[in-house]
């Protein structure tokens, strides 16, 4: 079989927004408490309360944006609970209490979260409560965060709480999953609520992007109705979100061969989610002014596979299957950078498709973390077209979903302003390595190449507290000539960064 990949230098869908490499941190289970946050008085090394090992590791992948404080948690969250002296903050039975029996201590609130973002060099994306608080209350949160120093009482309160300068929060979600946990609204009702909030909130000075609640996965009718209701009033949201998770019955440690391919096909369905929801948006926004934010995505496995064995709600282990899902999903987003303006993998630590597992003194980078590291040079680069001649797997029969064939080698490419080319490849074949020839058309791939490959003898292997580096990338730097071949091990992810040699 011919296994050729040609990078098309003259074909581009634009710049890959760094926000596609975004993250999500919710107050749920073990994400914050004993995950990101250990507290300033902890014996665990920390930077103003945040786990230092995590901060140091996270910085290395250049995180662009972090969404907070939910998720569903956001829909019962009152921001005023999380400001002022920590010892005086209230304890609350929050949205997730019936699931995880945790009472929210509010030790991490607005100031702490903004500090975390500053420490890691990411922008904050705040998800505001549209379901249970009045619009004025949310507007006040925006004013508290963004009003210039000294201009208002809320700005003074921010200064009294330790931060004179505005936080400058640009991205605001208005509601979360309002088709479900955010109030079980109809699309029409959600659109009307969004417009009510947005009208009030946008009467503040300063530039913000407000994000309306989009579809649950492939619910294109929700997208259409939201857009139609807003269009009738001449309104376009700052952006429209969409959430999509994939999962199978098996656990990360126990999946079968069939479940490997099932999960990858489900992940590949992200193409349909983006393209079909975008087509519905196009009916009301043909100029494509409104970007799509996939502000929750990832694998959602059976609960209880993580180190806490179910204590941390939705905490799960991960391995090369999750890494390949990460890789092919990010390739899909790169290739749709003209319509996807942001994406946030759910969630950062001790939950779902996590980059980190942590507890007490233990801290582990998952295979998903390593994929983000392999892909980081795509951020802000110009996406390049790719001709992929490596074959496909036949999708499963499904009456509900028109799955597209899964590429044997999922790939995307980009070129940074300095000429550096990044090519990221995932071999989706569980058992067979692939020998791939890489060449450029309209440009050359000849240059010095940093090749990093993430793979494992057994795709079920996870990084654990006992063996934290079981799955870790192997790196080499070589002279690469246009048309050379590389071997992609079975079930692997490879990042190639080529610094071209001037011809
Ligand atoms: O990520 C966990 C939950 O999944 C979020 O709170 C919610 O938005 C989604 O259903």
pLDDT of 444-466, one tens digit each? 999 999 999 999 999 999 999 99
pTM of the model: 0.98
- The number of residues in the chain equals 503
Q: How far is the CA of 95 from the centre of ligand 1 (A)?
A: 11
What's the CA gap between 324 and 263, in Å, rounded?
A: 10
Could you give the residue numbers annotated as active site?
177, 296
**Residue with the nearest Cα to atom 7 of ligand 1?**
71
Task: Indicate whether 251 pLDDT > 90.
Answer: no
> What values do phi and psi take at 342, rounded to 5?
-160, 150
* The ligand 1 atom nearest the CA atom of 346: 1
Ligand 1: which of 27, 177, 180, 245 to mutate, most ligand atoms within 8 Å of CB? Answer: 177
**Residue with the nearest Cα to atom 4 of ligand 1?**
71
**Residue with the nearest Cα to atom 5 of ligand 1?**
71
* The ligand 1 atom nearest the CA atom of 70: 6
Name residues contacting ligand 1 (CB within 6 A).
26, 70-72, 176-177, 296, 346-347, 352
**% of the chain with per-residue pLDDT over 90:** 96
The DSSP H or E segment spanning 174 is strand 171-174
Residue-wise pLDDT tens digits, 40-90? 999 999 999 999 999 999 999 999 999 999 999 999 999 999 999 999 999
**Residue with the nearest Cα to atom 2 of ligand 1?**
71
Q: Output the pLDDT for position 255.
A: 94
The DSSP H or E segment spanning 157 is helix 153-160
pLDDT band at 502 (very low <50, low <70, confident <90, very high): low
314: left (phi over 0), alpha (psi -120 to 50) or beta: left
Q: How far is the CA of 346 from the centre of ligand 1 (A)?
A: 8
* The ligand 1 atom nearest the CA atom of 24: 1
Mean predicted confidence (pLDDT) in 457-484: 98
What's the CA gap between 212 and 182, in Å, rounded?
A: 12
**Residue with the nearest Cα to atom 8 of ligand 1?**
71
CB atoms within 10 A of CB 123: 17
Ligand 1: which of 66, 72, 214, 216 to mutate, most ligand atoms within 8 Å of CB? Answer: 72
What's the CA gap between 14 and 344, in Å, rounded?
A: 20
Token pair in block for residue 444: 């050359």
Q: Output the pLDDT for position 100.
A: 92
Q: Output the pLDDT for position 362.
A: 98
Task: Indicate whether 503 pLDDT > 70.
Answer: no
Helices (H) and strands (E) in the chain, counts: 11, 25
Q: How far is the CA of 299 from the centre of ligand 1 (A)?
A: 12
> Which alpha helices (H) appear in 52-109, and where do they start and end?
52-60, 97-100
Q: Output the pLDDT for position 496.
A: 98
Task: Indicate whether 183 pLDDT > 70.
Answer: yes
Ligand 1: which of 25, 26, 35 to mutate, most ligand atoms within 8 Å of CB? Answer: 26
Q: Which residues contact 170 (CB under 8 A, 6 or more apart)?
A: 123, 207, 208, 209
Helix, strand, or coil (residue 437): strand
Residue-wise pLDDT tens digits, 277-312? 999 999 999 999 999 999 999 999 999 999 999 999
Q: Output the pLDDT for position 231.
A: 98
């Amino acid at each position: 079989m011919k296994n050729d990949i040609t990078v098309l230098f003259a074909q581009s869908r634009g710049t890959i927004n760094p926000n596609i490499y975004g993250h999500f941190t919710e107050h749920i289970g073990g994400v914050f408490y004993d995950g990101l946050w250990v507290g300033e008085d902890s014996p665990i090394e920390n930077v103003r309360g945040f786990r230092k090992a995590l901060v140091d590791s996270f910085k290395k992948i250049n995180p662009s944006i972090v969404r907070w404080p939910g998720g569903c948690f956001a829909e019962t969250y009152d921001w005023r609970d999380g400001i002022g002296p920590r010892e005086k903050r209230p304890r609350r039975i929050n949205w997730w209490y019936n699931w995880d029996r945790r009472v929210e201590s509010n030790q991490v609130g607005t100031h702490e979260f903004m500090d975390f973002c500053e420490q890691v060099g990411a922008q904050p994306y705040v998800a505001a409560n549209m379901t249970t608080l009045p619009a004025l209350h949310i507007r006040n949160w925006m004013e508290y965060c963004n009003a210039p120093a000294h201009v208002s009482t809320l700005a003074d309160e921010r200064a009294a709480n330790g931060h004179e300068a505005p936080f400058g929060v640009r991205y605001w979600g208005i509601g979360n999953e309002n088709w479900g946990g955010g109030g079980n609204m109809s699309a029409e009702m959600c659109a009307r609520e969004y417009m009510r909030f947005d009208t009030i909130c946008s009467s503040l000075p300063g530039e913000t992007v407000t994000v309306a609640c989009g579809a649950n996965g492939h619910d294109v009718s929700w997208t259409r109705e939201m857009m139609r209701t807003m269009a009738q009033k001449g309104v376009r949201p700052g952006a429209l979100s969409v959430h999509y998770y994939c999962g199978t019955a098996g656990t990360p440690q126990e999946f079968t061969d069939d479940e490997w391919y099932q999960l990858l096909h489900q992940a590949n369905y992200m193409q349909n989610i983006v393209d079909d929801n975008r087509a519905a948006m196009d009916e009301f926004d043909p100029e494509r002014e409104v970007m799509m934010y996939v502000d929750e995505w990832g694998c959602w496995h059976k609960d209880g596979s993580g180190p806490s064995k179910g204590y941390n709600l939705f905490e799960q282990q991960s391995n090369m299957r999750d890494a390949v899902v990460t890789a092919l999903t990010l390739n899909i987003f790169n290739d749709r950078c003209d319509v996807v303006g942001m994406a946030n993998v759910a969630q950062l630590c001790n939950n779902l498709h996590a980059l980190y597992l942590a507890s007490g003194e233990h801290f582990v980078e998952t295979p998903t973390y390593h994929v983000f590291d392999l892909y980081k040079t795509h951020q802000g680069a110009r996406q390049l077209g790719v001709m992929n001649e490596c074959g496909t797997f036949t999708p499963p029969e499904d009456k509900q979903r028109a799955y597209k064939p899964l590429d044997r080698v999922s790939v995307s490419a980009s070129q940074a302003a300095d000429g550096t080319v990044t090519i990221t490849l995932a071999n989706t074949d569980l058992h067979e390595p692939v020998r791939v020839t890489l060449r450029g058309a309209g440009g050359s791939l000849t240059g010095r190449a940093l090749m990093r490959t993430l793979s494992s003898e057994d795709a079920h292997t996870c990084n654990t507290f006992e063996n934290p580096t079981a799955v870790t990338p192997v790196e080499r730097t070589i002279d690469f000539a246009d048309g050379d071949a590389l071997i992609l091990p079975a079930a692997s992810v490879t990042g190639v960064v080529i610094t071209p040699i001037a011809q």
